[in-house]
Amino acid sequence: MSSEISESLKKRYITVRDNGLAKIFKVQDEIISSIRTFLKNEGFIEILAPIIGPATDPGIRGAKQATIDYYGFPFKVMSSMILYKQMIITALPKVFALSPNIRLEPLETVRTRRHLTEFRQIDLEVAYATCEDVMELGERMLCHVIAEVKNKCREELGDRIKTLKVPKMPFERYTYREALEILKGAGINVEYGKEIPWEAEEAISRMHSEPFWITNFPATARSFYYMESREEHGVLEDFDLIYPEGFGEAISGGEREYRYDKLLDRMLKSGDNPADYEWYLDMLRIGIPPSAGFGIGVERLTRFICSLENIWDAVPFPKVAGIPSP
Amino acid sequence: MSSEISESLKKRYITVRDNGLAKIFKVQDEIISSIRTFLKNEGFIEILAPIIGPATDPGIRGAKQATIDYYGFPFKVMSSMILYKQMIITALPKVFALSPNIRLEPLETVRTRRHLTEFRQIDLEVAYATCEDVMELGERMLCHVIAEVKNKCREELGDRIKTLKVPKMPFERYTYREALEILKGAGINVEYGKEIPWEAEEAISRMHSEPFWITNFPATARSFYYMESREEHGVLEDFDLIYPEGFGEAISGGEREYRYDKLLDRMLKSGDNPADYEWYLDMLRIGIPPSAGFGIGVERLTRFICSLENIWDAVPFPKVAGIPSP
């Protein structure tokens, strides 16, 4: 299977001519457009996302960052723009960007059919917002996008239009602890404190016909920039949105730690080296407002909306772990 | 001067809080929005631009490409998506993207105040189009954007609104040869066959109060992917749009070479190694349609519209040659 995928991706300049793909790219255009329209109506400003920088998001589930030589300095290609979102909200309180991301995923992710090494997120952040605020926003945004795409891409969606429903709000919510219980009931054991592995995430996704939230991940499973819960030590004010039907993670986000001492403490506990985050720590020392936000993967949203088996059909120039495709 | 710039950029998390910058970012949002609206009305589909790949645009005027280790393969961060535009028009005949670009410029470009090492283009391409087609489109697009921004960003533009005029169409046109004559008349000698250096480009830009085209650059000054003129050997079917008032280059584009034999010949003459462009050459061997297109730098357009001295004020997270800023 893997060598077939590899051949097909390396010859993308032939396979891209499939008329089915052109339809998907038209749907994707409408997805991005309708998100932008929605966010602008909510008062968001679109900014230009960073591409490279001295540091980037370390919380990328076992993937590696890509490094370039930047005039003698080791710079990273952004794995996510989270650290920069905390900077820009000091200038603009409600921002979003179509952000480019590189994550060198482990080779075995080719099998998942939902991991790309090059992908984009609609990344948003709101100063002084809470999880509640941005989760409610995320629900309305997803409903808006699905309604718009169903309305404007009837032909491109084909049969999918019959099964693609605008979800009912509010979406169901489970805490991480509750999600582990559900998985246990299905015979899948996830150790408390660890990230939910993609197989388990896919399994719980398959048990649902509507998108749902998993909230309050343990601090040990996530990166240093999430705010710890005021109510329970070691638990975060964060959330993932999971698509139904086995499509897995849609959104990842939460409230951000903005207090220098607490952040430094989290960073040391997570094993990250403060010297690698010099500008970020100096920024927190000077002071930034609290905020909340999330990122939604554009290719995964396209995969879900078009009901695609393979994520590499959801992007014109797909990059999959280990395959040197154009 | 350079150390002041360096300090200011390294502490971007402080300098970004200037209220003047927030206004510029709001104008930039409107610039990008109005270009998107314009292009969609013209029937363009927005696609997701590549971030990395085995090869990228070599025609970057003395700048260096950034390289990452991609599972043992040397991959480049895109310096422009030109090669990929020729691929995607086989699936969608009119496309555009907000494309991320990295060009490691020579250190002396800090002085120009118009070079960033990280920037974005609105990159567009049209199958079966000619230079005439996309130049006419470019003129209407620029007029549309300026009119929209003047209309919607009165407060943010401040005094600039008085001097920012919607240009008169059609824009003036000079061939490269004529541009060299104009420069010679002003005491600036550019050797025929070379790229017009930025100082000379700035000088000719200062002589104008409206944007203007320079067309038909010599093949020796540009990269292998431009089509050679049917009328004059060694001259290209290409164009730059130059802003007035000293702001320099706005747009670069042209008709593309799509014939395998001719392209290979150009590649060999320009000193590029065909082995570095394996997928691209294989794609041309199989066959692609002719096309024309251009890229317009988003930060330089913002600099011109807002009349900014420094390009690093035209982007939230600026990167300038040699300076390891966030």
Closest listed residue to residue A114, CA positions, set A325, A315, A312 = A312
Of all residues in chain B, the one with the smallest CA distance to A43 is B26
**Contact list, A298 vs chain B (CB under 8 Å):** 48
What is the average per-residue pLDDT within B69-82? 98
Q: Is the pLDDT of residue B199 over 80?
A: yes
Given CB atoms, is B16 within the 8 Å cutoff of chain A?
yes
The burial of B23, by beta-carbon neighbours within 10 Å (0-12 exposed, 13-18 middle, 19 or more buried), is given as middle
Which secondary structure element, helix H or strand E, spans residue A26, and what is its range?
helix A19-41
Contact B46 A40 (CB under 8 A): no
What local confidence, expressed as pLDDT, does residue A270 receive?
A: 92
Q: How many CB pairs under 8 A join A and B?
A: 199
Domains detected in chain A: 3-314 (3.30.930.10)
DSSP string, B97-146: EEEEEE-B--GGGGGGS---SEEEEEEEEEET--HHHHHHHHHHHHHHHH
Percent of chain B with pLDDT over 90: 97
Q: Is the pLDDT of residue B69 over 70?
A: yes
pLDDT digits (tens, 9 = 90+) for B150-166: 999 999 999 999 999 99
pLDDT digits (tens, 9 = 90+) for A172-189: 999 999 999 999 999 999
CB environment B119-152: b (16+ within 10 A), e (fewer):
bbbbbbbbbebbbeebbebbbebbbbbbebbbeb
What CA–CA distance (Å, rounded) separates A61 from A199?
13
Given CB atoms, is B94 within the 8 Å cutoff of chain A?
no
Contact B53 A16 (CB under 8 A): no
Given CB atoms, is B197 within the 8 Å cutoff of chain A?
no
Cβ atoms within 10 Å, residue A261: 10
**Degrees, nearest 5: CA angle A52-B223-B106:** 45
**Amino acid identity, position B177:** R
The list of chain A residues with pLDDT below 70 reads 1
What local confidence, expressed as pLDDT, does residue A1 receive?
A: 58
Of all residues in chain A, the one with the smallest CA distance to B102 is A51
pLDDT digits (tens, 9 = 90+) for B88-147: 999 999 999 999 999 999 999 999 999 999 999 999 999 999 999 999 999 999 999 999
**Contact list, A282 vs chain B (CB under 8 Å):** 11, 13
Given CB atoms, is A167 within the 8 Å cutoff of chain B?
no
Sign of CA dihedral B155, B158, B160, B163: positive
**Contact list, A123 vs chain B (CB under 8 Å):** none
Of all residues in chain B, the one with the smallest CA distance to A50 is B317
pLDDT digits (tens, 9 = 90+) for B116-125: 999 999 999 9
pLDDT digits (tens, 9 = 90+) for A131-179: 999 999 999 999 999 999 999 999 999 999 999 999 999 999 999 999 9
Nearest CB to A283 within list B13, B100, B322? B13
Question: Chain-centre distance of CA A51, in angstroms?
Answer: 16
Q: Is the pLDDT of residue B195 over 90?
A: yes
Our CA-based measurement puts residue A238 at a distance from the nearest CA of chain B, in whole angstroms, of: 25
Contact B13 A321 (CB under 8 A): no
Task: Judge whether A285 and A263 are in contact, CB under 8 Å.
Answer: no
Could you tell me the two tokens for A272?
Answer: 């990250």
Best of A30, A317, A323 to disrupt the B interface (most B CBs within 10 Å) is A317
Predicted TM-score of the model (pTM)? 0.98
**Contact list, B303 vs chain A (CB under 8 Å):** none
